[in-house]
Amino acid sequence: MTGPNSPSRTGTSPAKLSRHGRSKSTSSHCLLRCSTQEESSASPANNSSRSPGEEEEKDGGVLFYVNRTGFPIESVTWERMWSHVAAVHPEGQEMVDRIRNAAYLPKHPVPSVPTFKPSMSVPDWLVAIQNYMKALQYNHTGTQFFEIKKSRPLCGLMETAREMIRESLPIKCLEAVILGIYLTNGLTSLERFPISFKTQFSGHCFHHVVLGVYCNGRYGSLGMSRRQDLMDKPLTHRTLGELVAEFESSYKRYQHTLKKVKIGLYVPHDPHVFQPIEWKHLVLNAARLGAQEMRKELEKHGRDMRMKILKSSSAQSPIKERSRGKSLSPRRRQSSPQRRFTHRRDKSPASVERKPPELSTLNDGYQIRI
Amino acid sequence: MEPACRKDKPKLNSTPTRGDRARQKSAQQELKQRQRAEIYALNKVMTELEQQQFDAFCKQMQSQGE
């Protein structure tokens, strides 16, 4: 889908125009100019945890809107959604009128919320959850229906997950992570943690997030994406490095170069916890680290998570130690600061492949979005 | 005041009645259902568009490669 960049798309007031992808604003209508996957919009004033340099990086040139006012969707948001699709679809207003003026539209069935049975294995439960999310469908409308503020307390995000189930509408990747957390709450043998990706395609940056899962020595993921191989992965990967490598390999099929990977911490199972999700405890600059070094860091982080020696900066609960296998990681008492591996020099020959600039001119500037 | 007068006294309270609230709720539900139907119809169209563009892009890349 080509992203509309005409001036008419910037119809909202400058105060609401944001290029950042994070949903931290309380404003009702935000025109967001950002990379596809970074969900929701924000006004700069409310976005205190964003680093100054990230705003420009996230600008992938594709617009999406966010519904901030609940359901039924109010008319301003509703009309904006239709204006947007009329601008991007080749049939434009004709397509819009066909749907809006239809006397009868088929009722999309409301998928049944999966219910966990004690006889189900963890992999089966994950498949049930993923199937449920797929039944909701990936949201291609250009308007995100559920506002996700990543800095919100977990209990608040779980309320949004309940709303997603209640309203039963298409979702995108960040919403899928929240929903995945909600539906796996209570399955204490399964650990969940966010995995965020920043990739580059044809000179633009794209962001994506999935819910990493760990159970009984194996890693996998849940999520939603435009691409089937960039969402759920089975619980078969022996290490976190292997899982991330699998994603990197999938990205390559779409000519996306992995730039950064951010791994969060395990999300507590208690849905009433007030602390926010830790989204990026480990940040790896894939462009600068060699593949081996990345794997090493990921493996270390995985071990540390399993040993429960990592603590979120906002965590309230004490660190629980588990004597489970051997770990070469040093013991840590306090919360480890967010580890960023951005300044290590990659001594190997240039690992960043530069795509020929003409990619962006192919097919009227179409970009393979994730 | 005579009981008859009290009966004739106009009701000044403007708060919505239970019936009004029920009707409003029903109207909201209908609107939500209609919006949901339109959203999924739209999503179908936009999903197809994305797939078409992706396929065309892949074909173009292939022919460029050749």
What is the pLDDT confidence band of residue A157, given thresholds at 50, 70 and 90?
very high
Distance from CA of A318 to the nearest CA of B (A): 44
Contact B35 A141 (CB under 8 A): no
- pLDDT reading at A220 higher than 80: yes
A109 inside 8 A of chain B by CB: no
- pLDDT reading at B52 higher than 80: yes
Please state the rounded mean pLDDT for residues A46-60: 35
* Nearest residue to A181 (alpha-carbon basis) of A274, A268, A101: A268
Using CA atoms, how far apart are residues B41 and A350, in angstroms rounded to an integer? 47
Distance from CA of B34 to the nearest CA of A (A): 8
CA-nearest residue of chain B to A363? B57
CA-nearest residue of chain B to A70? B32
Name which of A106, A167, A362 is nearest B57 (Cβ-Cβ): A362
CA-nearest residue of chain A to B52? A1
What pLDDT is stored for residue A341 in this prediction?
60
Using CA atoms, how far apart are residues A152 and A157, in angstroms rounded to an integer? 7
What pLDDT is stored for residue A368 in this prediction?
87
What pLDDT is stored for residue A309 in this prediction?
65
Render the burial of A267-295: b for 16+ CB within 10 Å, e for the rest.
bbbebebebbbbbbbbbbbbbbbeeebbb
What is the pLDDT confidence band of residue A108, given thresholds at 50, 70 and 90?
very high
Q: Spell out which residues of chain A touch residue B34, defining contact as CB-CB under 8 Å.
A: 105
B62 inside 8 A of chain A by CB: no
Candidates A2, A65, A67, A73: best to mutate against B (most CBs of B within 10 A) is A73
CA-nearest residue of chain A to B27? A72
What pTM was estimated for this model as a whole? Answer: 0.77
**Least confident among A226-230, A294-298, A323-327:** A323-327
A356 inside 8 A of chain B by CB: no
Contact A170 B43 (CB under 8 A): yes
Establish how many alpha carbons lie within 13 A of residue A314's alpha carbon, considering only the half-sphere containing its beta carbon. 17
State the amino acid at position A82 in one-letter form.
Answer: W
- pLDDT reading at A23 higher than 90: no
B64 inside 8 A of chain A by CB: yes
Contact B49 A89 (CB under 8 A): yes
Please state the rounded mean pLDDT for residues A63-72: 92
B46 inside 8 A of chain A by CB: yes
- Asked whether A235 and A248 are in contact (CB, 8 A), the reply is no
In chain A, count of helices (H) and strands (E)? 8, 11
Name which of B31, B42, B56 is nearest A72 (Cβ-Cβ): B31
B51 inside 8 A of chain A by CB: no
Q: Which residue has the higher pLDDT, B62 or B36?
A: B36
Please state the rounded mean pLDDT for residues A114-127: 94
B49 inside 8 A of chain A by CB: yes
Contact A141 B41 (CB under 8 A): no
Using CA atoms, how far apart are residues A106 and A3, in angstroms rounded to an integer? 29
A141 inside 8 A of chain B by CB: yes
Please state the rounded mean pLDDT for residues A152-164: 98
- Asked whether A287 and A280 are in contact (CB, 8 A), the reply is no
Positions of A annotated as catalytic residues are 173, 208, 225
What pLDDT is stored for residue A308 in this prediction?
78
CA-nearest residue of chain B to A141? B43
Which residue(s) pair with A208 in the sheet? A197
B30 inside 8 A of chain A by CB: no
Candidates A88, A141, A167: best to mutate against B (most CBs of B within 10 A) is A141
B53 inside 8 A of chain A by CB: yes
CA-nearest residue of chain A to B53? A1
Please state the rounded mean pLDDT for residues A298-320: 72
Q: Which residue has the higher pLDDT, B52 or A341?
A: B52
What pLDDT is stored for residue A361 in this prediction?
43
Render the burial of A102-126: b for 16+ CB within 10 Å, e for the rest.
eeebeebeeeeebeeeeeeebbebb
What pLDDT is stored for residue A334 in this prediction?
42
Distance from CA of B31 to the nearest CA of A (A): 7
Q: What percent of chain A has pLDDT over 90?
A: 64
- pLDDT reading at A12 higher than 80: no
Candidates B33, B46, B50: best to mutate against A (most CBs of A within 10 A) is B46
Contact B39 A141 (CB under 8 A): yes
Contact B53 A366 (CB under 8 A): yes
